[in-house]
Amino acid sequence: MYGYESLSRTDARKAEQIDLESGETLYPGLGYGENELRWGFIRKVYGILAVQLLLTTVVSAFVVSSPSIIDLLRGNSGLLLFFCLVPLILVWPLHVYHQKHPLNFIILGAFTVFLSLTVGVSCANTDGRIVLEAQILTAAVVTSLTGYTFWASKNGKDFNYLGPILFTSLVILVLTSLIQMFFPLGPTTTAIYGAISALVFCVFIVYDTNNLIKRFTYDDYILASATLYLDILNLFISIMRVLRSGDS
């Protein structure tokens, strides 16, 4: 009887070890229960992110297909500036109320809609072929980088060291963008700026996906989805800027 119980416990330990090493473990040292909870959190974040991207596609398509809206936004720079500033203003309440349901989803929805309007205007000012190429390239890059980050995390790699580098790069990109408002750059310089921006946001996708796997808490699903959404959106705009500059 004692031998049977010992054998059962040994089998149970082996089964648990197989479960943890079957390729589904997010990173080494993560317990079985924690691994299951983390996977549930990741699925929730990507579900919200998918809805955000779908909403952006719908709103952008509506703007592009509505000449009256395009003319209104083109002829009213103040209104367009308002649409650009609102998402920046919503970042603060999004951070403060990200755990308060359903207010967090309402703020996230408004945040997504206003950003989608600016993306729609940008797409309306771009050739349809270039927009489609940018969408395909963005989807391919995001899928590849996400898959790589999950693979790297499973093999014990960590990308937390990229934080200070990315923060410095983002500050430089923002300052350069502000300079362009007063001193417009030529097509070649714009293409270079777009390429550097695309590279920076590629690294951001790796860094934030790594945080999604290891560092975001289970209550941070709103912040995690908003962060990845901004990475993907900025990557798409950067790629579109490069293609547009090359085409012109």
Each residue's pLDDT tens digit, 184-242: 777 778 888 889 999 999 999 999 999 999 999 999 999 999 999 999 999 999 999 89
Domain ranges of the chain: 31-247
Query: What is d(CA 8, CA 14) in angstroms, rounded to the nearest whole number?
Result: 10
126: region left, alpha or beta (phi > 0 left; psi from -120 to 50 alpha): beta
231 Cβ neighbours under 8 A, 6+ residues apart: 201, 204, 205, 208
Instruction: Give the CA distances from residue 108 to residues 52, 92, 234, in Å, rounded to whole numbers and listed in that order.
Output: 9, 11, 17
- pTM, two decimals, is 0.86
| 102 prior amide bond cis, ω within 30 | yes
Neighbours of 19 (CB within 10 A): 13
pLDDT in tens, the chain (248 residues): 444 344 344 444 444 443 433 447 898 888 888 899 999 999 999 999 999 999 999 999 988 888 877 777 766 667 777 878 888 899 999 999 988 889 999 999 999 999 998 898 888 888 889 999 999 999 999 999 999 999 999 999 999 999 999 999 999 998 888 887 777 777 778 888 889 999 999 999 999 999 999 999 999 999 999 999 999 999 999 999 899 877 66
